[in-house]
Amino acid sequence: METMKPSKKPQITYLIVTLVIFLVLNVLIYNSMIKRPTQETSYYTFMKMIDEKEVKAANIESNQIVFTDKDGNQYKTGIINDEDLYKRLYEADVDFGAEIISQSNPIIYYLVTTAIWIVGIALLWRFITKRMTKKLGDSPDLMSFGLGDGKSNARVYVKSTSGIRFRDVAGEDEAKDLLTEIVNYLHEPQKYTEIGATLPKGALLVGPPGTGKTLLAKAVAGEANVPFFSISGSEFVQMFVGMGAAKVRDLFKQAKEKAPCIVFIDEIDAIGKKRDSSLSSNDEREQTLNQLLSEMDGFEGNNGVVILAATNRPESLDPALLRPGRFDRRIPVELPDLKGRVDILRVHAKKVKISDNVDFDVIARTAAGASGAQLANIINEAALRAVREGRRCVTQEDLMESVEVVIAGYQKKNKIMTNKEKLTVAYHEVGHALVAAMQTNSAPVTKITIIPRTSGALGYTMQVDEGEHNLMSKTEILNKISTFTGGRTAEELIFHEISTGASNDIEQATKLARAMVTRYGMTDDFDMVAMEHVQNQYLGGDTSMSCSDETATKIDQMVVKIVTEQHAKAKQILTDNIGKLHEIAKFLYENETITGEEFMEILNAKPESAANASENAAENAAENPTENA
């Protein structure tokens, strides 16, 4: 994509040149207008300087003698009755009849120099602005010189034969269809005007970070045969009131001159937040928003200009900005589903050499919940790993490992763990896996590992659903909570001690239990009443309570009850399968990683005749980990 940028000399250069010129001018004026200060001296020195013929001129006054030497220095001395003074002056060739000008008045000097500065700066400024007008084609606001010239600085993309197209964007078919219609309208408006349809004035792309909002805008730029203006919302925000609004005016002025065209404003929430009456309100931001609202749908209108904008905070935008007539379409750009993830992986895989036996369906299921940016990173990490391993193409193993890298970080193979810690982690992870496997509605276990990761995890259990799930039942959520408690429960059963390794499990279990009570209406006490609301759903999903303190206390009690019941359920499952817990934990301790097939093979194997001996051996390992290792 080619970008047209005007050649503009930095304004700071003009400012520096101006300061240097007038600094030199000021020095010259000072030296020409200010005499050196008059020095007092004795009559003896005066007479000695006359004898040595150093005096150039003298003025004999009633109470003092003022004289200058040949270097221009000025002196004064007192009067003494000396009848031979004039004779001495005559013989020394001193001009004693001249009027010696006393020191210039500093007030006059400052008035003259100030006037010269004002006139000089005005003339130089006029010259500079004419030069800038000639180069930029538009005269900037003189009062904004050096502080921002009121121009939008939008990047203008012209038609290009290369770059990103709609075929390069996968997993967002609905968004592409809506944007394709806008591009087609710009290409062939007569098809739509014949039936009475009008051009949509704006489309707002909404979704989590990394889902491809900016990528879709780039694809529009690649598909459209019209000028495409691109600017970030933060570029409108200025320190000085009125500059943001000036940039908006300039942007739409350029757009209307080149209509039909497309204007893309990224992160529009930087200037489009809701207006309020608080004293801390930002006047500059509100003026910028008001100007944007007027330009998008004012009396003048902007025929032929389509506004695209992207944000991941739609709830913070001003309602006047979201109404039809300004943004006629709200295009959700959500996390891709299973088919979308497969398509995205295939698009990015075209850029690297892939082995023929790679199964993208497996990778897509493993990377459930990943955004388009994360999937692109998975392909790149797999390619980097293939190079490290000395392979000429990317294999299934590289892709599976790259999924784990994106989710949990890189392996820390050199991290030193004591045998007791390693055994504790092994039982902890097997506790998760065993509780999950023994519950009918839980996702199958695909991998268990106790190799530490750079994210801080000392091990993890990976579960992958067979298909795509858009809803979770109450039973599935309870099973999830029970699975989260399985790691801590295994530590309690085997070591009769607990560790800090369950902190993230506790956090996730509590979060799910609270959501059941406050948001999902899965309790009898509150029925279908929402007790908290989600804020910033695309940026972490923070929640805020909307209930009394007494109700909040009751909610806390119910959350504790739910987690406690599922903890007890996990303890019962592990107690009933204590032999398998020991057997799988021993295998994991020795091999550090178990695949889903190996886990199920051990779990489904018939009990050995020496099951009790195996259990005793595992218990001995827990008590004496050093000897067992």
In whole angstroms, what is the distance from residue 232 CA to residue 267 CA? 6
- Alpha helix ranges (H) inside 213-271: 213-223, 243-257
* Strand 305-311, strand 202-206: pairing: parallel
Distance CA 585, CA 501 (A): 16
Helix (H) or strand (E) holding 58: strand 55-60
289 neighbors 318 (Cβ within 8 angstroms): yes
Whether 492 sits among the annotated catalytic residues: the reply is no
**Nearest CA-CA partner of 272 in 217, 225, 327:** 327
Phi-psi group of 329: left, alpha or beta (phi > 0 → left; psi -120 to 50 → alpha; rest → beta):
beta
The counts of H helices and E strands in the chain are: 22, 16
| Residue of 267, 429, 491, 583 with catalytic role | 429
CA-wise closest residue to 205 among 331, 66, 102: 331
CA distance linking residue 399 with residue 370, whole number of Å? 14
Q: Is 328 helix (H, G, I), strand (E, B) or coil?
A: coil
Tell me which residue of 516, 407, 402 sits closest to 461, measured CA to CA.
407
> What's the CA gap between 463 and 441, in Å, rounded?
12
Is the CB of residue 424 less than 8 Å from the CB of residue 476?
Answer: no
How far is the C-alpha of 368 from the C-alpha of 580, rounded, in Å?
29
187's tokens = 């290409």
Contact 311, 204 (CB under 8 A): yes
Euclidean distance between CA atoms 39 and 56, whole angstroms: 15
What distance in Å separates the CA atoms of residue 192 and residue 208, rounded to the nearest whole number?
33
What are 544-549's contacts with CB under 8 Å, separation 24+?
A: 545/518
Q: Provide φ and ψ at 340, rounded to 5°.
A: -65, -40
3-class DSSP state of 305: strand
CB atoms within 10 A of CB 492: 16
Q: Distance between CA atoms of 484 and 490, rounded to whole angstroms? A: 11
Residue 415 neighbours by CB under 8 Å, 6+ apart: 452
Per the listing, tokens 């197209």 go with 165
Q: Residue 101 gets which letter from DSSP?
A: P
Rounded to the nearest 5°, which phi and psi values hold at 409? 100, 180
Q: Is residue 221 within 8 Å of residue 230, measured between CB atoms?
A: yes
| DSSP β-bridge partners for residue 305 | 261
Q: What is the number of alpha carbons within 13 Å of residue 128 lying toward its C-beta? A: 22
Q: What is the C-alpha to C-alpha distance for residues 198 and 180, in angstroms, rounded to an integer?
A: 15
Strand partners, 447: 462, 595
Distance CA 584, CA 599 (A): 7
Lookup: tokens for 470: 């858009």
List residues with catalytic annotation: 429
